[in-house]
């Protein structure tokens, strides 16, 4: 059938309750007689615990209980969800500090009270007596001591292929760079929250406020609490932003669930903003020492990279995911005949790290694209020209990168990188305008960066679909919403497959009691994995409907069609029947299962235009453009929204956001006065071009993911634009580029004369 909804920017189905004030976020959920939990956190960055004095807190009226590690000693440390290496297991985090504290903000006690304010007052009375220990704050310095003869270097990642040494011997030139990316993270409008309740009658522990990966969190909680999987159920409500940071299993989630079991009371915990900034996952911070061997025309012969990944105090649920992705995807869209990377995963006395939108790629794209700009300057050609010379050709697809990540081989499924570069340059190039402004003395510049994204991570998704007598279609999936529009996209796919209006499709997600398995929402996987499973489920239902209708109409299924919810003969003659009428006679259900062990790879180009105030070092991003090949766009409007949101976060990481610590490990970025984020004033005009030149051959609709394309290369493009504006090639080697750092670059270099 000709697609009716796929490819159209139809309105989102999930917005009405949000726009009318009927959203149900974690803080909106309460139960009669619930207790409120508050966490007392370490004020010490690194210390050996002598005592946690809770006596004053216990004496506060309205406080029911106070826990320290001794009260939860039976609970194991929280396990890994992704890239779980055995050697990392000793570095996992317990739900309350055991023997040592390793970062400011680490949970040392849990307070349960009748009122959240009483709980907070009691938490302020808890006193930590700790022997201060040396603080480690840099991952690129020599490793320190962790415990039990283990150093703070948790493991080393090594990847590569080809003869790197021979490449450097044959090189016409060798370029070396030392590049750093600062520490920042997702800051969703809604902070974390959990409401746990034990139902005596059903013997089920319920957790509300789930996000991102409800089924994995359910299974892990069941193991940690010694319960059967069916004895734990998680329920997702509306989610005020995810970005990789929300929805992972944190100590607070486990504590609330454990308390609900122990006390047989509903337990509620809502994080405040200061807690979020010091306790929820940080991300990004890496230092790369990279070198490239090139020939006389600037073609890459080999790349060698050594990097240091600062993972904070513990290995949380993502384990080695971020540095593994950085190591594996650094080559990007370019031919790199020989490659060797060594990634040192090291722990410091800072907040533990996890993923944040485009994890490992924001970092490695900055490094790779800075390297490409350096090659261009060395050879004396335009930055885009040196990229063209090194791009993987369309004819080489599928392209085996000869590297693995997230348990799968990296094989670029499809792509025409050169075509997208030309299209983006033609649509968004503004060089003539820039040159005219420079003649007037303005310090303006343009920078470009290319990237390949990964999306559609498996291994599988299951979808069930049913049709009721009113003609309404219900789709149940184990996926989750982080605001990306899952209800709309899945409805569009099902509607086209079934021949019905997408508005009649109701998508249920994030409820572990409704479906036994689910992959959740991460790694830009939902449209690809859940979308294909939904298409198969709808196809199953359609086939059953046509078979049942054929029996009633005394014909064969192949002679019938469904359009606008009505079954009729393809010839146009004969009787008709609505799906709703058929459902009154035949219960109609379908199931779709999609399993795939590889990923799909969208790609894009970012172009930034900036103006630099040479007097203050201030940088204004005037325009930002993104050209992105999605394979096939189910809903272009939603993709544009995903890209625009990603650009805003990319601008934040490039210019503003930075978690800073003093010499004692005290966090200095604990409010929005210190942790700067871009507002509407700082977010530039955004131009977006969505192309569909390279549909994926790995799923029926040719789908690829959109969630991380807007942020991936933002830092790299802005860095290149600043170089161009101040006329100092290779000036920017560190993100974020604060006014102070830009001013220092100008003073250290020779800013180009624009007069």
Give the tokens for residue 228: 């059967």
Measured over the CA atoms of residue 357, residue 358, residue 364 and residue 370, the dihedral's sign is negative
Gap between the Cα atoms of 147 and 129, Å rounded: 20
Query: Tokens in use for 53?
Result: 């004095």
Domain end marker among 595, 617, 635: 595
Q: Tens of pLDDT along 629-663?
A: 999 999 999 999 999 999 999 999 999 999 999 99
Asked if residue 755 belongs to a domain, the reply is: yes
Q: What is the mean pLDDT of residues 231-247?
A: 96
Q: What is the pLDDT of residue 430?
A: 77
Q: What does the pLDDT read at residue 584?
A: 92
Question: Tokens 């990944």 correspond to what residue?
Answer: 309
610 and 734 share a domain?
A: yes
Structural domain tally of the chain?
2
CA atoms within 13 A on the CB side of 177: 27
Same-domain status, 518 and 658 = no
* Domain containing residue 551: 457-595
C-alpha 692/C-alpha 632 separation (Å) is: 5
Q: Do residues 726 and 604 both lie within one domain?
A: yes
pLDDT at 563: 94
> Are 659 and 568 in a shared domain?
no
Question: Quick one: 440 exposed, middle or buried, by C-beta within 10 A (0-12, 13-18, 19+)?
Answer: exposed
Q: Share the mean pLDDT of the chain.
A: 96
Mean pLDDT of 717-746: 96
| Residues 658 and 561 reside in one and the same domain | no
pLDDT band at 214 (very low <50, low <70, confident <90, very high): very high
- In tens, the pLDDT along 428-463 reads 987 888 999 999 999 999 999 999 999 999 999 999
Instruction: Tell me how far apart the alpha carbons of residues 631 and 334 are, in angstroms, rounded to a whole number.
Output: 19
Mean pLDDT to the nearest integer, 95-122: 98
Query: What does the pLDDT look like over 141-161, one tens digit per residue?
Result: 999 999 989 999 999 999 999
Tokens describing residue 217: 């969190």
The gap from C-alpha 605 to its chain's centroid, in whole angstroms, comes to 19
Q: Is the pLDDT score of 1 beyond 90?
A: no
CA distance 76 to 97: 12
474 and 450 in a common domain = no
pLDDT at 755: 33
Q: Are residues 429 and 417 part of one domain? A: yes
Give yes or no for residue 427 having a pLDDT over 80: yes
Model pTM greater than 0.75? yes
Assigned domain for 637 exists: yes
Within a domain: residue 662?
yes
Q: Dihedral (C-alpha) 41, 45, 49, 51: value to the nearest 10 degrees?
A: -40
Do the domain assignments include residue 13?
A: no
Tell me which of 595, 630, 659 is where a domain ends: 595
Is it the case that residue 138 has pLDDT exceeding 80?
A: yes
pLDDT grade for 195, boundaries at 50, 70 and 90: very high
Task: Using the predicted structure, report yes or no on whether residue 705 has a pLDDT greater than 50.
Answer: yes
Q: Tokens 């997600």 — which residue?
A: 509
Q: DSSP character for 334?
A: B
754 pLDDT band, cuts 50/70/90, is very low
How far is residue 527's CA from residue 574's CA, in Å, rounded to a whole number?
Answer: 38
Q: Is residue 665 part of a domain?
A: yes
Claim to verify: residue 671 and residue 733 sit in the same structural domain: yes
- Indicate if 462 and 437 belong to the same structural domain: no
Predicted pLDDT at 750? 58
Same domain, 662 and 737: yes
Proportion of the chain above pLDDT 90, given as a percent: 95
Does residue 751 have a pLDDT over 80?
no
Binning pLDDT at 50, 70 and 90, where does residue 526 land? very high
Q: Is residue 617 domain-shared with residue 572, that is, in the same domain?
A: no
Q: In DSSP terms, which residues pair with 606 in a beta bridge?
A: 449, 626
Name the domain boundary from 595, 625, 650.
595
CA distance 175 to 162: 19
Determine the pLDDT at residue 3.
72
What CATH number should be reported for the domain holding residue 705? Answer: 3.30.365.10
Q: Is residue 424 part of a domain?
A: yes
478 and 614 belong to one structural domain: no
Q: Contact 749/731 with Cβ under 8 angstroms?
A: yes
Q: Does residue 515 lie in a domain region? A: yes
pLDDT at 753: 45
User: Residue 473: inside a domain, yes or no?
Assistant: yes
Query: In whole angstroms, how far apart are CA 192 and each of 37, 685, 712?
Result: 13, 31, 25
pLDDT (mean) for 665-674:
97
């Amino acid at each position: 059938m000709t697609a009716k909804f796929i490819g159209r920017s139809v309105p989102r189905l999930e917005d009405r309750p949000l726009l009318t004030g009927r959203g149900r976020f974690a803080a909106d959920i309460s139960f009669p007689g619930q207790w409120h939990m508050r966490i007392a956190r370490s004020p010490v960055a690194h210390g050996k615990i002598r005592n946690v004095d809770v006596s004053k807190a216990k004496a506060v009226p309205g406080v029911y209980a106070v826990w320290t590690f001794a009260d939860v000693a039976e609970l194991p440390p929280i396990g890994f969800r992704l890239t779980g290496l055995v050697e990392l297991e000793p570095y996992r985090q317990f739900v309350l500090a055991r023997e040592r504290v390793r970062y400011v903000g680490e949970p040392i006690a849990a307070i349960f009270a009748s009122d959240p304010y009483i709980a907070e007052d009691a938490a302020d009375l808890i006193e930590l007596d700790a022997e201060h220990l040396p603080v480690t704050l840099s991952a690129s310095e020599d490793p320190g001591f962790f415990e039990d003869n283990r150093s703070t270097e948790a493991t080393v990642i090594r990847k590569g292929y080809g003869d790197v040494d021979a490449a450097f011997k044959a090189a016409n030139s060798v370029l070396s760079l030392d590049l750093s990316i600062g520490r920042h993270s997702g800051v969703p409008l809604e902070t974390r929250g959990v409401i746990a309740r034990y139902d005596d009658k059903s013997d089920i522990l319920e957790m509300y406020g789930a996000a991102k990966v409800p089924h994995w969190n359910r299974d892990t909680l069941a193991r940690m609490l010694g319960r059967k999987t069916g004895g734990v159920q998680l329920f997702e409500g509306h989610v005020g932003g995810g970005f990789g940071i929300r929805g992972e299993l944190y100590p607070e989630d486990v504590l609330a669930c454990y308390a609900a079991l122990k006390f047989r009371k509903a337990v509620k915990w809502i994080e405040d903003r200061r807690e979020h900034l010091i306790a929820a996952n940080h991300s990004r911070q890496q230092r790369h020492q990279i070198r490239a061997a090139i020939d006389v025309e600037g073609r890459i012969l080999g790349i060698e990279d050594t990097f240091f990944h600062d993972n904070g105090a513990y290995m949380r649920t993502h384990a080695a995911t971020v540095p593994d992705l950085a190591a594996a995807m650094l080559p990007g869209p370019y031919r790199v005949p020989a490659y060797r990377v060594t990634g040192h995963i090291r722990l410091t006395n800072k907040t533990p790290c996890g993923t944040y939108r485009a994890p490992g790629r924001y970092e490695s794209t900055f490094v790779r694209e800075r390297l490409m700009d350096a090659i261009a300057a060395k050879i004396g050609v335009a930055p885009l020209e040196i990229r063209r010379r090194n791009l993987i050709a369309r004819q080489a697809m599928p392209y085996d990168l000869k590297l693995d990540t997230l348990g799968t081989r990296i094989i670029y499924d499809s792509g025409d990188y050169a075509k997208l570069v030309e299209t983006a340059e033609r649509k968004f190039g503004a060089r003539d305008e820039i040159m005219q402004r420079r003649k007037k003395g303005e310090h303006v510049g343009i920078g470009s960066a290319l990237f390949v994204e990964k999306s559609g991570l498996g291994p599988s998704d299951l979808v069930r679909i049913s049709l009721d007598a009113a003609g309404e279609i219900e789709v149940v999936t184990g996926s989750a919403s982080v605001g990306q529009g899952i209800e709309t996209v899945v409805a569009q796919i099902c509607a086209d497959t079934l021949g019905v209006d997408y508005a009649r499709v109701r998508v249920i997600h994030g409820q572990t009691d409704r479906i036994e398995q689910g992959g959740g929402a991460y790694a830009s996987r939902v449209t690809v994995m859940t979308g294909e499973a939904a298409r198969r489920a709808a196809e199953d239902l359609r086939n059953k409907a046509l078979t049942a209708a054929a029996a009633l109409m005394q014909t064969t299924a192949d002679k019938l069609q469904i359009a606008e919810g009505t079954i009729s003969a393809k010839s146009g003659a004969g009787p008709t029947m609505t799906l709703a009428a058929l459902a009154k006679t035949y219960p109609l259900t379908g199931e779709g299962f999609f399993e795939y062990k590889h990923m799909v790879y969208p790609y894009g180009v970012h172009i930034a235009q900036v103006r630099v105030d040479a007097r203050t070092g201030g940088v204004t991003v005037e325009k930002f453009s993104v050209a992105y090949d999605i394979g096939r766009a189910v809903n272009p409007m939603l993709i544009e929204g995903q890209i625009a949101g990603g650009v805003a976060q990319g601008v934040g990481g490039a210019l503003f956001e930075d978690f800073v610590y003093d010499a004692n490990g005290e966090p200095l970025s604990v409010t929005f006065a210190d942790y700067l984020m871009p507002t509407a004033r700082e977010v530039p005009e955004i131009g977006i071009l969505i192309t569909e030149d390279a549909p994926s051959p790995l799923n029926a609709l040719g789908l690829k993911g959109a969630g991380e394309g807007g942020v991936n290369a933002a830092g790299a493009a802005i860095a290149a634009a600043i170089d161009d504006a101040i006329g100092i090639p290779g000036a920017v080697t560190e993100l974020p580029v604060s006014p102070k750092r830009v001013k220092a670059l100008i003073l250290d270099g020779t800013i180009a004369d624009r007069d």
